[in-house]
Amino acid sequence: MNHYVEKEVKKVDVWKVKKYVCKVKIIDIFTGKKIIVLNEDDAKEHDIYAGFRTQIRHQGESHSAIVDVSKELVKAGEVGVFRDLATAHKLKKGEPIEIVHMDQPASIAYIKKKLDKGTLVNGEIKTIVDDIMNDRLSEIETSAWITAAYINGFSDSEVIDLANATVDSGEQLNLGKKPILDKHCVGGVAGNRTTMIVVPIIAAAGLYIPKTSSRSITSAAGTADTMEVLANVTFDMDEMRSIVLKAKGAMVWGGGMKLAPVDDKLIRIRHPLSLDPEGMLLASILGKKKSVGAQYVLVDIPTGRGVKVPYVERANELGKHFLRVGEKLGMKIEALITDGAEPVGNGVGPALECSDVLEVLGGKGPEDLKHKSLLMAGKLLELCKKVPSGKGYSAAQNILNSGKAMSKFREIIDLQGGNSRVRISDLPIGKYTQVIKCEEGGSIFHIDNKSVSKIARIAGSPRDKGAGVLLHRTRGDRVEKGDALLTIYANSESKLDFAIKAAQNLEVVEMRKMLLGSMQ
**Which residues carry out catalysis?**
276
DSSP state, residue 245: H
Q: Give Cβ neighbours of residue 76 (< 8 Å, ≥ 6 apart).
A: 3, 39, 41, 42
**3-state SS assignment for residue 108:** helix
Q: How many CA atoms lie within 13 A of 172 on its CB side?
A: 14
Q: State the first-to-last Cα distance of the chain, in angstroms, to the nearest integer.
A: 98
CA–CA separation, 270 and 262 (whole Å): 12
Q: How far apart are CA 141 and CA 35, in angstroms?
A: 15
Concatenated DSSP letters for 251-268? EEEGGGTTSSHHHHHHHH
Q: How far apart are CA 198 and CA 372, in angstroms?
A: 9
Q: Going by DSSP bridges, is the β-strand pair 181-185/35-39 parallel, antiparallel, or unpaired?
A: unpaired
Position 345: which residue type? G
Query: Burial level of 290, CB count in 10 A (0-12/13-18/19+)?
Result: buried
Q: Are 429 and 348 in contact (CB under 8 A)?
A: no
Residue closest to 345 by CA, chosen among 356, 355, 336, 354: 356
Look at the alpha carbons of 451, 455, 456, 460 in this order and tell me if their dihedral is positive or negative: positive
Beta-strand runs (E) in 15-73: 17-27, 35-39, 53-58, 61-70
Using CA atoms, how far residue 149 sits from 97, 123, 136, 159, in Å, is 38, 17, 20, 10
